[in-house]
């Protein structure tokens, strides 16, 4: 019995799936007698590179070609076409596997054989070299001359999945070849082709089974037909998704749906039984992480209004239940966490712990909210609910800053039921901290109180004030310098100069002009502290809060995390 991948291999250029750009060019070259002496066919595995090379050889040597009206297509049925299509021995079409014939001696032998004419007049000698990236540098050098000045009616076709390796070891060769890049075959085209093959074989299959095959094939038609063959050999009757997963050892979609439901419902205790079952069944945790990535991507597409293809019934049901509880922001954060953990799952000596940690971070993750909606709700009297999954139960959170809500004794904090409180108004301006003439000693004396007053405005402003010290006073002019160990804050302090000037003016009861510089002495020789990526991000968020008092108040009142 012939394997399905061989039995249904295309015989004509028109039968190549998704490779119309290649098929049209090669068919036209044959029909117009403009065939090149060398071709490089590149692309993922199982998309038709070697098949296209065989069809080209068939078209060049087909016994039924009409010289008066050439079409460029082989008949696919004459004895010559049959022998080439099946890969049988042929004097004029030679296939070479470069993985096992990669040395310079093999290349020299190929070069010498290419000097002989074809077995019949008007025929072509075609050399198909598969896995061409496996040839050594010396082998390519041995072929370079014959590729520059080939004998008449000799064609070389090199097929490879890694053209960059050829560029690294034999860049001059590439300029002697016509290159065609094969596309990955889409899941829709694979599903249609699998249905055609099943119909030709007189077999039936569930749509979910075909969807699983198309997803597993990952763009390769040969892999899809091989999987179909493998699943059909397990049992008689209609092909089911369960049989396909059994044949491939795949994880059931129900497991992914269970994990997604636990994340949406914020149930960390459900994580451990799921991982236990996966390990007991011998599942590959890398495959599990990749499967979760695909499912999250599908949920994100649905959430943003797109329509994912090739979903099974279990996946559609899981997405329908989770889409109302997980916002696009939540899904993006989850995918970000998954991306960070994916490599660790592959490398770790304890991948179970990595996967459990990832799932727990998902279930315990704070939900994102729309701050614009929060602020609009405040403008309307605080009646609008916080954007996000309303049905998700609240997760334990760190203690937030206490706020005055005006609630009576029967409702401490005013947080039981009902919408969140409106952001509190900005604190009213306080009285001066320093009366009388402004002196250096006086400013130094009120500086701790000034830091506390700055903290009421924004954390960023307080951090800047803490890093500064007054060094000179001349009437209404005040010179400030960064502390010796805070040289890295100089630029941030200068950006906050307007806020500092206003803060100092309110503290002394009059307008002051300030200047900010570096501290003298040994501090100049010290190297500024290097800010980490987290420090830069925190400073940026503090600046955002400092610019928008309403945003700062909303974040404190609702205990929100602001992400950029």
* Domain identity same for 131 and 262: no
Phi, psi for 18 (deg, rounded to 5): 65, 0
Interatomic CA distance for residues 63 and 84, integer angstroms: 12
Instruction: State whether 150 and 21 are in the same domain.
Output: yes
Tokens of 332: 């993006």
Q: Tell me: do 18 and 120 sit in the same domain.
A: yes
Other C-beta atoms closer than 10 Å to the C-beta of 12 total 18
Residue 417 within any structural domain of the chain? no
Co-location of 284 and 242 in the same domain: no
- Residue 312: which H helix or E strand, with range? none
How far apart, in whole angstroms, are the C-alpha atoms of residue 260 and residue 441?
A: 62
End of a domain among 199, 226, 248?
248
- Coil, helix or strand for 120? coil
Residue 378 lies in a domain: no
Residue 70: CATH number of its domain: 3.40.50.300
Please provide the DSSP assignment of 77-120 as one string: -SHHHHHHHHT---SSEEEEETTTS-SHHHHHHHHHHHTSPPSS
| Domain total of the chain | 4
Is 422 exposed, middle or buried (CB count within 10 Å of its CB: 0-12, 13-18, 19+)?
buried
Please tell me the predicted confidence (pLDDT) of residue 26.
Answer: 94
CATH code at position 475: 3.30.300.180
Residues 301 and 358 in one domain: yes
14-69 confidence digits (pLDDT tens): 999 889 999 999 999 999 989 999 999 999 999 999 999 999 999 999 988 877 67
> Do 61 and 167 sit in the same domain of this protein?
yes
Question: Quick one: tokens of 81?
Answer: 């076409």
Tell me what pLDDT residue 382 has: 39
The structure's pTM equals 0.61
- 232 in a domain, yes or no? yes
Residue 428 within any structural domain of the chain: no
CATH assignment at residue 300 = 1.20.272.10
Per-residue confidence of the chain (564 residues) as pLDDT tens digits?
Answer: 788 999 999 999 999 988 999 999 999 999 998 999 999 999 999 999 999 999 999 999 998 887 767 888 998 889 999 999 888 878 889 898 888 888 888 888 888 888 887 888 888 999 999 999 999 999 999 898 888 888 889 999 999 999 999 999 888 899 899 999 999 999 899 999 999 999 999 999 999 999 999 988 888 999 999 999 999 988 788 899 889 988 888 888 889 999 999 999 899 999 999 999 999 988 889 999 999 999 999 999 999 888 888 788 888 888 988 888 888 888 999 999 999 888 889 888 899 999 999 999 999 887 555 555 555 554 444 333 433 443 344 444 444 334 333 344 444 444 444 444 445 444 445 678 887 788 888 888 888 888 888 888 887 888 888 888 888 888 888 888 887 767 777 887 888 888 888 888 888 888 888 888 876 543 343 444 555 666 667 777 777 766 666 666 666 665 566 665
Domain that holds residue 110: 4-181
């Amino acid at each position: 019995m012939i394997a399905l991948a061989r039995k249904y291999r295309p015989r004509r250029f028109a039968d190549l799936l998704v490779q119309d750009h290649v098929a049209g060019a090669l068919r036209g070259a044959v029909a117009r007698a403009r065939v090149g002496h060398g071709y490089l066919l590149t692309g993922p595995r199982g998309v038709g590179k070697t098949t296209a090379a065989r069809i080209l050889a068939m078209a060049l040597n087909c016994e039924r070609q009409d010289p008066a009206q050439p079409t460029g297509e082989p008949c696919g049925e004459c004895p010559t076409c049959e022998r080439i299509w099946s890969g049988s021995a042929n004097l004029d079409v030679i296939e070479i596997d470069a993985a096992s014939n990669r040395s310079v001696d093999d290349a020299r032998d190929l070069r010498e054989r290419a000097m002989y004419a074809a077995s019949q007049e008007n025929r072509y000698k075609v050399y198909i070299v598969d896995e061409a990236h496996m040839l050594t540098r010396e082998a390519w050098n041995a072929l370079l001359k014959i590729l520059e000045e080939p004998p008449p009616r000799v064609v070389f076709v090199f097929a490879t999945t890694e053209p960059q390796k050829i560029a690294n070891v034999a860049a001059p060769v590439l300029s002697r070849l016509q290159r065609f890049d094969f596309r990955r075959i889409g899941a829709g085209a694979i599903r249609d082709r699998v249905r055609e093959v099943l119909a030709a074989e007189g077999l039936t299959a569930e749509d979910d089974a075909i969807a699983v095959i198309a997803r597993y094939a990952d763009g390769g038609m040969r892999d899809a037909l091989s999987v179909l063959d493998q699943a059909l050999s397990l049992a008689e009757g209609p092909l089911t998704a369960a049989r396909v997963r059994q044949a491939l050892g795949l994880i059931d979609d129900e497991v992914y749906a269970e994990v997604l439901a636990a994340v949406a419902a914020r149930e960390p205790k459900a994580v451990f039984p799921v991982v236990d079952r996966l390990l007991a069944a011998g599942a590959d945790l890398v495959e599990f992480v990749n499967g979760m990535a695909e499912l999250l991507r599908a949920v994100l597409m649905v959430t943003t209004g797109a329509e994912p293809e090739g979903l099974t019934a279990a996946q559609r049901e899981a997405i329908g239940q989770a889409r109302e509880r997980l916002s696009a922001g939540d899904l993006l954060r989850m995918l970000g966490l998954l991306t960070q953990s994916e490599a660790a799952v592959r490398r770790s000596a304890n991948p179970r712990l990595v996967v459990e940690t990832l799932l727990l971070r998902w279930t315990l993750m704070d939900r994102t909210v729309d701050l614009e909606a929060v602020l609009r709700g405040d403008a309307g009297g605080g009646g609008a609910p916080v954007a996000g999954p309303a049905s998700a139960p609240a997760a334990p959170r760190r203690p937030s800053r206490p706020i005055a809500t005006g609630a009576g004794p029967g409702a401490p904090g005013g947080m039981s039921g009902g919408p969140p409180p409106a952001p509190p108004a900005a604190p009213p301006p306080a009285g001066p901290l320093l009366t009388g003439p402004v002196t250096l000693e006086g400013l130094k004396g009120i500086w701790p109180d000034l830091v506390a007053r700055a903290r009421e405005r924004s954390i960023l402003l307080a951090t800047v004030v803490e890093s500064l010290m007054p060094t000179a006073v001349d009437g209404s002019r005040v010179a400030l310098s960064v502390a010796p160990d805070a040289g890295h804050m100089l630029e941030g302090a200068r950006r906050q100069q307007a806020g500092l000037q206003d803060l100092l003016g309110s503290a002394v009861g009059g307008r002051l002009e300030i200047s900010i510089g570096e501290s003298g002495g040994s501090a100049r020789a010290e190297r500024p502290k290097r800010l980490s990526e987290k420090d830069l991000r925190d400073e940026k968020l503090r600046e955002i809060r400092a610019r928008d008092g309403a945003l700062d108040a909303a974040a404190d009142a609702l205990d929100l995390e602001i992400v950029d």
